Copies of this chain bind each other. A is one copy, B any other.
Amino acid sequence: MAKTLRIIPLGGLGEIGKNMTVLEYGRNMIVIDCGVMFPESDMYGIDLVLPRFDYVVKNQDRLRGIVLTHGHLDHIGALPYLLRDVKTSIYGTPLTLGMVKRQLEEAHVIQQADLNVVRENQSVQLGPFKISLFPVAHSIPDSVGLVIDTPVGAIVHTGDYKLDETPAGGRTTDLKRLRKLTPNGTLALLADSTNADKPGYTPTEQTVADELDQLFAQASGGRIIIATFASLMARLQEIIYLAEKHGRKVALTGRSLEENIGLARALGYMKIPHGMLVDIDADVPDGELLILSTGSQGEPRSALNRMAQGEHRSINVQPGDTIIISGGTIPGNEQEVGRMLNRLFERGANVIYGKLAHVHVSGHGSRDEMQAMINAVQPQYLIPVHGESRHLYLHARMAVANGMDSENVFVLHNGAIWVTDGERVWLDQPIDAGDVLVDGRLVDEVGEMVMRDRQRLSQDGFVVALIPMDARGRLVGEPQIISRGFIHLKESGGLLDLAREEIKRQLKHDGRNPHETVRRTLSNFLYRETNSRPVILPSLIRV
């Protein structure tokens, strides 16, 4: 292991979200990012998905620190879980660490972390790794990419970025600094693949500002309500400037917005003119008020969805209100967002969403930007990161189509071990890096069988049959049936009576294995009668 550099993706390769990468050289390890993923719709009852970071926990004596690229949850959200078992130093820009600090405090693991601010144009030495930051344009301020000098060559990790020339806040991706940091070229480029299926360039954030400016001018006498991600802090700043321009005060609703804006102001990343921010219940004329709200994803308890359902404490949506959804819909949320929009329209509001106006752009570069990054860095090896499999493959193929040798481009799955001695590259036996599911307080105790049961329960419910038996295993008295989520009980009374009769009849025929007889009888009977397959649990009761 000595004298080789090892790169091990634990998340963020092959799965969207939960970005995490391990770099090792000899007996030295650093970790880049430590994010969570939000569950997909068939992860029943799951709250969060973590990278499987057992390898880091097991080898924590080698860990020199964790370096963060920016403060989004898919890059920092798993830290509270990792820090249950690991005590270490964490490095990042001021806003990123501000968000981490709040998170670790809430999880009561702050004492496990030594937080170290590194500015966007500074470097830090961690064992054999010299890590230099460079600014990147992304949808949260203070985002950076990393140049990691190792004994075998320089590694570039882009973080999340776009090559926006007119981003909110004016902070562009600093390719000049990146090139200056790699005077001897780049051994490997780990680059964001999120938008590898989007042709061309991602539109600049300026298009959103221009469009909002126009919409604000048209809103005239009514309120403006803008729902966006609390993490799009640069856009929030832009909206506040525009509100000032159009003579509107700003009120906030939604905890994450209040927290993020509070933090960004405290750290100097957001400027709000004195007196602009008002309480949501303040007495401000409709035409002079702008409300920033959470809920762009239609989350059931979010501020905007409560408005849609007429359940918001302070805001009663009405004709004349202009509501702008300034955030893309995350795949899987389309139906919830659609229903929320329906309700807002039904309340008479003028709702701007989707393709009706340019009120959202992605924070990630598209294909032409990804190719421009490869051209700027000219890496010896390319390792696409951040995206699902299809994005990694599309990124890789684009690089090859544009001239990279296909043997120098690596699509890695989580747990793969990419090794180089600076000359050759090979893959070691991968480590286990499957998803870790978090359900309530329980981490990793929800196995595949539980998932399968929940899936079946969600479709057809369950039926428990209590079978009273005597000591000799003979039915005594009446079987009893309990069910939920199967069919409506009032109407199913007759059906369950028939099921009981069927059980009694079958047990008379075949009482050798009453548990199996009851299970099979009920299963067949209910499928025949209803075409559905509830979870069936016989329970033999000795009376």
Contact = CB atoms under 8 A, between A and B. Distances in A.
Contact of A541 (B199, B331, B466, B532): B466
Interface stretch (A1-9, A153-161, A436-444): A436-444
Contacts of A342: 14, 388-390
A336 to B, nearest CB: 8
A274 interface: no
Contact of A530 (B351, B388, B441, B461): B441
User: Which of A351, A394, A461, A539 has the most chain B CB atoms inside 10 A of its CB?
Assistant: A461
Contact of A484 (B335, B390, B537): B537
Contacts of A14: 342
A42 B336 CA distance: 9
A49 to B, nearest CB: 13
A532 B440 contact: yes
A450 B167 CA distance: 50
B390 A488 contact: no
A458 B458 contact: yes
A199 B353 CA distance: 12
B530 A335 contact: no
The SS class assigned to the A binding surface is mixed
A26 interface: no
B335 A331 contact: yes
Contacts of A442: 487, 530-532
B484 A355 contact: no
A535 B390 CA distance: 39
Interface string A424-449: 00000000000000011110011101
A484 B535 contact: yes
A491 interface: yes
Contacts of A454: 457-459, 461, 485
| Protomer copies | 2
A256 B447 CA distance: 36
Contact of A480 (B397, B445, B446, B539): B539
A389 B466 CA distance: 47
Contact of A332 (B335, B459, B488, B529): B335
Interface in A347-388: 350-351, 353-356, 388
A464 interface: yes
A299 to B, nearest CB: 13
A338 B345 contact: no
A354 B198 CA distance: 8
Interface size range of chain A in the complex:
35 or more
A530 B440 CA distance: 6
A449 B40 CA distance: 25
Contact of A334 (B334, B532, B543): B334
A462 interface: yes
Interface string A298-341: 00000000000000000000000000000000011011001001
B199 A487 contact: no
Nearest to A40: B335
A460 interface: yes
A504 B42 CA distance: 37
Contacts of A199: 355-356
Contact of A460 (B45, B197, B449, B531): B45
A527 to B, nearest CB: 9
Contacts of A485: 44-45, 450, 453-454, 456-457, 535
Contacts of A484: 453, 457, 462, 535, 537
A455 interface: yes
Interface string A36-63: 0000111011000000000000000000
Contact of A445 (B354, B439, B488): B488
Given A331-B335, A487-B450, A345 B464 contact: no
A46 B346 CA distance: 26
Given A338-B390, A388-B342, A389-B346, A487 B44 contact: no
Contacts of A356: 197, 199, 394
A356 B398 CA distance: 12
Contacts of A44: 458-459, 485
15 contacts: A41-B335, A197-B355, A338-B390, A341-B390, A342-B388, A345-B394, A439-B532, A440-B531, A446-B487, A446-B488, A447-B488, A449-B488, A450-B486, A456-B485, A482-B539
3 shortest interchain CB distances as A-B pairs: A440-B531, A458-B458, A331-B334
Given A45-B458, A455-B458, 7 more contacts: A41-B41, A331-B334, A331-B335, A331-B338, A454-B458, A466-B466, A485-B535
